[in-house]
Chain A
Amino acid sequence: MNLSSSSKSPGSIGNAHEAAHRDPAVVIFGFWVFMMSDLIFFGVVFAIYITMVGATAGGPGPKELFDFGSLFAQTMLLLTSSLTVGIATVTMRHERSRASFLFWVVITLLLGIGFLTLELYDFSEMASKGGVPSRSGYLSAFFGLVPLHGLHVTFGCLWMLVLIAQVFTMGMGQVVKLRFLRLALFWHFLDLIWIGIFSIVYFGGWVYG
């Protein structure tokens, strides 16, 4: 967890004498608090999913709908992207060249987009088997939760695009570095959520559904 330690010792990314709202410690801490709130948001939706596992109302359930091959691929893509975003963080910290930093960011972005593509493909497969949210409470809960994570990933990709643009327009200054640190945190956070989704939504649903 080299990232969390950075929130305590911000020395490597700027001086701490600036206004409070640009103090790295404050900014990173604020982002942790935000993720805490987001975690509650996810947690509540997870809870709803768990209560709805049996509510298939005669419609297709997990056993009919889930494609674990594709899910395995999605998991691998997302886990790898977590690794690459970590590498990008390290290159940034060690002030390696802008090109190598951008390289890893772009790789992460591509992996994220790959994940989203596969996820959308999964959804369309599910829909073709009758797995649409309007079919049952269970599917509503599924489509309330999994695409919520997908939306977060989409937002993360958009954030990455904006950051790439800012690296060119604003340079690798403290502002951009801090933003990237937060993006990396966010990306790891989404990875954790995905592990929750994989084990509770997919695996748990498959076992108990």
Chain B
Amino acid sequence: MDWYLKPSGFFALKRMDLQRCKKVCPSGVSYYLLTLILGCLFLSQAASASETFLMPLGPVAEEQKVHFFWAMALTMVAILPVFILVPVILFKYRRKKGRGFYAPKWETYGPLELIMWGVPFLVIIVLSVMLWRATARLDPYKEIQGVVPPIKVQVVGLDWKWLFIYPELDIATVGELVVPVHTPISMILTSDTVMQSFFISALAGQIYVMPGMTTQLNFIASKTGETEGENTQYTGDGFADQKFNVQVVNSDNFDRWVQRVHSTGIELSTENYNRLAQRTTKKQAHGELATAQMPEKVIYFTLPGTQLFHEIVMRYHSGKPLSIEDQPGTEKFGRGKEDVEGVQP
């Protein structure tokens, strides 16, 4: 049985299986092996991709990765017996040529019952303790204690891009999130359209953002590098493009980057914000707003005041109905009533 050593082995086996449908027992074995091997093959390949918690850039994602593998390994205690015993049982007790003892009325056996209930229960108890501790420790709302004070970032989900406001630095960006290494990042997030889910796999995982409400995400990067963040909640045509570049840089480079944003950014005035908040992809927004100095699909802003995030959240708490023309993310947003006459919903 060395077929599984060759990568093409399992395809050959599948054909064989189909031919010997009648002799099911061996193919039962092969299917479970195939399953395991496929899984291993894919998991080993996974290590080559960079935008995932399997290649973490910070301790949060690192712990999530470790937890993932531990949960898998512990659950295996309850699952491996199935993989091993089912083929054995099938082989031994097959009707044709099976050599097993036949006990048609055997219906219960106390000690076995105890094992059947006990083993999964013990596994779950161990997993629950792990779950409890990890969940409490990795609470995304908990600020991370670092040697330097955290950098605050306000995140606004728009259709179909993310706006990052650095209130203490008086800058904002679209399509690019730059954070210094070894510095806690404290994010507060909201949406100015439908519900979205903000996700940076290699650093922190994801959190939902909802209009009129805020959520929080805290993380710290432990090495420099580049990764991608995205929205994982479907929000319409531009959804697949709602990604952003994440750069973890050292503090010198970060300062230089802040300078650059300051010098090249345009003012994030109400007018500019309203143009940004329309239903556009990064590329379209870039074409509409960006200047030549800004990188492709990225827009830099400077902040005229510090109230923008607050205003965005409070937009939904005015106590007055928000007409469809004033609701960012709708087709009619930002257009006068006469403009939309011809547009078919």
The answer to whether A and B touch directly, with their CB atoms under 8 angstroms apart, is: yes
CB of B319 within 8 Å of the partner chain: yes
CB of B320 within 8 Å of the partner chain: yes
Q: Give chain A's interface residues, CB within 8 Å of chain B.
A: 57-59, 134
Give CA–CA (A134, B321) in the complex, Å: 9
- Chain A contacts of B317 at CB under 8 A? 57
Top 6 closest A-B pairs, CB basis? A58-B319, A57-B319, A59-B319, A58-B320, A57-B317, A134-B321
- Chain A contacts of B318 at CB under 8 A? 58
* Residue interface mask B310-342, A partner, CB < 8 A = 1: 000000011111000000000000000000000
7 cross-chain CB contacts under 8 A: A57-B317, A57-B319, A58-B318, A58-B319, A58-B320, A59-B319, A134-B321
Which B residue's beta carbon lies closest to that of A57?
Answer: B319
Query: Number of residues in B with C-beta < 8 Å to the partner?
Result: 5
In chain B, positions 251-304 with a C-beta closer than 8 Å to chain A are: none
- Chain B contacts of A134 at CB under 8 A? 321
Kindly provide the distance from the CB of A145 to the nearest chain B CB, expressed in whole angstroms: 22
Kindly provide the distance from the CB of A15 to the nearest chain B CB, expressed in whole angstroms: 40
In chain B, positions 75-115 with a C-beta closer than 8 Å to chain A are: none
Residue from A57, A59, A134 whose CB has the most chain B CB atoms within 10 Å: A57
* Residue interface mask B170-181, A partner, CB < 8 A = 1: 000000000000
- Chain A contacts of B320 at CB under 8 A? 58
Kindly provide the distance from the CB of B313 to the nearest chain A CB, expressed in whole angstroms: 15
Kindly provide the distance from the CB of A55 to the nearest chain B CB, expressed in whole angstroms: 10
Kindly provide the distance from the CB of A175 to the nearest chain B CB, expressed in whole angstroms: 45
* Residue interface mask B38-71, A partner, CB < 8 A = 1: 0000000000000000000000000000000000
In chain B, positions 179-235 with a C-beta closer than 8 Å to chain A are: none
Kindly provide the distance from the CB of B93 to the nearest chain A CB, expressed in whole angstroms: 41
Kindly provide the distance from the CB of A131 to the nearest chain B CB, expressed in whole angstroms: 15
- Chain B contacts of A58 at CB under 8 A? 318-320
Which B residue's beta carbon lies closest to that of A135?
Answer: B321
Give CA–CA (A57, B318) in the complex, Å: 7
Kindly provide the distance from the CB of A67 to the nearest chain B CB, expressed in whole angstroms: 24
Give CA–CA (A58, B320) in the complex, Å: 8
- Chain A contacts of B319 at CB under 8 A? 57-59
Kindly provide the distance from the CB of B83 to the nearest chain A CB, expressed in whole angstroms: 40
Give CA–CA (A58, B321) in the complex, Å: 11
Kindly provide the distance from the CB of A10 to the nearest chain B CB, expressed in whole angstroms: 38
Give CA–CA (A134, B320) in the complex, Å: 11
- Chain A contacts of B321 at CB under 8 A? 134
Kindly provide the distance from the CB of B272 to the nearest chain A CB, expressed in whole angstroms: 29
Kindly provide the distance from the CB of B205 to the nearest chain A CB, expressed in whole angstroms: 27
- Chain B contacts of A59 at CB under 8 A? 319
Kindly provide the distance from the CB of B327 to the nearest chain A CB, expressed in whole angstroms: 15
Give CA–CA (A57, B321) in the complex, Å: 9
Give CA–CA (A203, B320) in the complex, Å: 27
Residue from B317, B319, B320 whose CB has the most chain A CB atoms within 10 Å: B319
Which B residue's beta carbon lies closest to that of A56?
Answer: B319
Residue from B317, B318, B321 whose CB has the most chain A CB atoms within 10 Å: B321
Kindly provide the distance from the CB of A139 to the nearest chain B CB, expressed in whole angstroms: 12
Give CA–CA (A58, B318) in the complex, Å: 8
- Chain B contacts of A57 at CB under 8 A? 317, 319
Give CA–CA (A58, B319) in the complex, Å: 5
